[in-house]
Structure 1
Amino acid sequence: MNNFSQKNKLNKENLLKLLIEKSYKKGNFTLASGKKSAHYLNCKPVSLNGTGLKLISNLFLELMDPSSKAVAGLTLGADPLVSGLIVTAASQGLLIDALIIRKEIKEYGTKAGLEGPILKEGTEVTVLEDVVTTAGSAIKAINKLRENNLLVKEVLSIVDRREGGYEALKEQNIQLKSLFSIEDFL
């Protein structure tokens, strides 16, 4: 697994407790991928909580490749993750930019698909995700970033459901780094 600092090992334990309490449900669910599952994880109750977002942001910052100069993710799930990470980084004197990727390009104004600063071509960007199942959302984000001549080498997720996402990203030459897997919730 990941070699976190002693402080972040405790953060990870506390985050798992929060996720189990606020984000995990057992039952019969249809996931965004269309797959059926007995396990459902909605990380928003934790990522939209100050304590939860602080834990996630600290862990993601330690997990993120230091050569990455920006973070990005698809709106809505990644919005708090992206914002939390850049604020946490700034509090430590690290300058990391952020991009929010629209699911649909807006039909007015600049018709932008990416919101945030304009990054230099070839800038390395880390994609943030809450839950990875098949990696469909992450791949959409990666493709949009690549269309804008940005470099993506990794995706950080809170949870990997281990349902093909890791393999799908590997085919794209992208490394998936997750704080937890579905096994941590069983």
Structure 2
Amino acid sequence: MQEDDVLAELRASKALLEGHFLLSSGRHSAHYLQCARVLMNPERAGRLAVALAAKLPHDIRRNIEKVISPAMGGVIIGQEMGRALGVDAMFVERPEGTFELRRGFELSPGDKVLMVEDVVTTGKSSREAIAAIEDAGGKVIAAAALVDRSAGEVDLGVPFTPLVSLSFPTYAPDELPPELAATPAIKPGSRKQA
């Protein structure tokens, strides 16, 4: 699957939107990515996971024993990556603000884990998930994501493979270009706005 194919999937599912958006960071953008929309169709999610699994370096792909993703956004792609790689998929969640394995999920000491997300922007939640996996006894040998929004800048401390990289400019409220300033901002997303 080429980058244009991935972008077509994002647009067809209305996951990649254009307009005027107020992001959870407080910055503004003419583009917004809601990865949950591209993953809501199981066939599409499966195709994207197979493409992402194929993009992993062979030496990493053959050593993966478990896939773990952070809840909520990573659960679907984590499950599909487990299917694509033929290994169990689990997730970490934050019942008290810190990621941890729950629901009877366990790792054997040294299990080789792929941590997978839907979107990586700053890498903060990815690094927190990796720390939780390692605290639970796993060894994260790589990370993957459908979309890298970091402009290639993210450092997760392990090899990182995105299916596609997207970089859209964002603006502070006092830096808006005229075309954005002329339209009201929409507040999309899953996080509560401050």
Q: TM-score range by the shorter chain?
A: 0.7 to 0.9
* 2:40 is the alignment partner of 1:60: no
Unaligned runs of 5+ in 1: 1-7, 107-111
Distance 1:152 1:105, change over 3 A: same
Task: Specify whether residues 179 and 134 from structure 1 end up closer, same or farther in structure 2 by C-alpha distance, changes over 3 A only.
Answer: same
Name the CA shift for 1:51/1:157 in 2 (closer, same or farther; >3 Å). Answer: same
Match of 1:157 among 141, 145, 155: 145
Distance in 2, matches of 1:63 and 1:140, equals 24
**Unmatched segments (≥5 aa) in structure 2:** 169-194
Offset of residue 30 of structure 1 = 4.6
Q: Deviations over 1:129-148 (max 9, x none)?
A: 11111011111110110111
Whole-Å separation in 1 of the counterparts to 2:152 and 2:94: 22
**Equivalent in the alignment of 1:177:** 161
Runs of 4+ aligned residues of structure 1 deviating over 6 Å after TM superposition are: none
Q: Is the 1:99–1:114 contact (alpha carbons within 8 Å) kept by the matching residues of 2?
A: no
What is the CA distance between 1:117 and its match in structure 2?
4.1
Name the counterpart of 1:16.
Answer: 7
Report the Cα offset of residue 29 of structure 1.
Answer: 3.6
Question: Which protein has greater RCO, CA pairs closer than 8 Å, 6+ apart?
Answer: 2
**Alignment match, 2:189:** none
CA distance in 2: counterparts of 1:27 and 1:123, whole angstroms: 44
> Higher Cα Rg: structure 1 or 2?
2
Equivalences for residues 69-84 of structure 1 within 5 A: 69-84=65-80
Instruction: Give TM-score, length-normalised by structure 1.
Output: 0.74
Match of residue 85 from structure 1? 81
What is the identity, as a one-letter code, of the residue corresponding to 1:53? A
Q: CA shift at 1:26, angstroms?
A: 2.9
Give the Cα separation in 1 of the matches to 2:106 and 2:166. Answer: 36
Instruction: Output the TM-score relative to the length of structure 2.
Output: 0.71
> Which structure: greater helix fraction?
1
RMSD: 2.5
Secondary structure of residue in 2 paired with 1:156: strand
SS of the residue corresponding to residue 8 of structure 2 reads helix
Letter in 2 for 1:177: T
Indicate how the Cα distance of structure 1 residues 174 and 31 shifts in structure 2: closer, same or farther if over 3 A, else same.
farther
Deviates more, 1:16-25 or 1:74-83: 16-25
1:43 is matched with which residue: 35, 40, 46? 35
Q: How far, CA to CA, are the matches of 2:47 and 2:41 in structure 1? A: 10
Quote the offset at 1:85 in angstroms.
2.0
